[in-house]
Amino acid sequence: MQALNIGQASEASGVSAKMIRHYESIGLIPPAHRTESGYRLYGESDVHTLQFIRNARDLGFSIPQIGTLLELWNDRGRPSAEVKRLACAHIDELDEKIRGLQAMKATLEQLASHCHGDHRPDCPILSGLATPGMGTRGLAEHTCNG
């Protein structure tokens, strides 16, 4: 594979040029080789690393977690238990986010079910949002369809 400029590396990896520069600036990927005129050049391994990062971001891993995953990925002698530990911790984080989203949805459904959605100005949704501590109190689920 010949050296790719940042646009070509972006297209090949599915990571925007802006994010490639960002990942380089925070040390997630090593600085790119440069031409005499200063253009960044990327090789096959760089594109592979960018694809790895994109896949990890698609799964919701944070930048620090991705840094750890990259270290483990590059360490051929790593114990897979470390990788599994990190993945399981992330699953726990996702479960917590899901519970939070479900509580938000239930609260909003509760508010929406009490709104007539007509020409009258009174609106339980706005009243609920203005209520201190309304948040996600785990109200019973209702649908917007009736």
Instruction: Tell me the residue range of the domain where 19 lies.
Output: 6-61
- Please report whether residue 143 resides in a domain: no
Residue 139 inside a domain? The answer is no
Amino acid at 102: Q
Could you tell me if residue 103 is inside a domain? yes
Q: What is the pLDDT of residues 50-60, one digit of tens each?
A: 999 999 999 99
Domains: count for the chain: 2
Residue 20 to residue 28: CA distance in whole angstroms: 9
5 falls in which pLDDT band (50, 70, 90)? very high
Question: Model confidence over 71-114: pLDDT tens digits?
Answer: 999 999 999 999 999 999 999 999 999 999 999 999 999 999 99
State whether 13 and 56 are in the same domain.
yes
Angle between helices 44-58 and 6-13 (to 10 degrees): 50
Query: pLDDT tier at 136 (50, 70, 90 boundaries)?
Result: low
Per-residue pLDDT tens over the stretch 28-65: 999 999 999 999 999 999 999 999 999 999 999 999 99
Q: What is the pTM of this model?
A: 0.79
Mean pLDDT of the residues in the chain: 90
- The verdict on residue 13 lying in a domain is yes
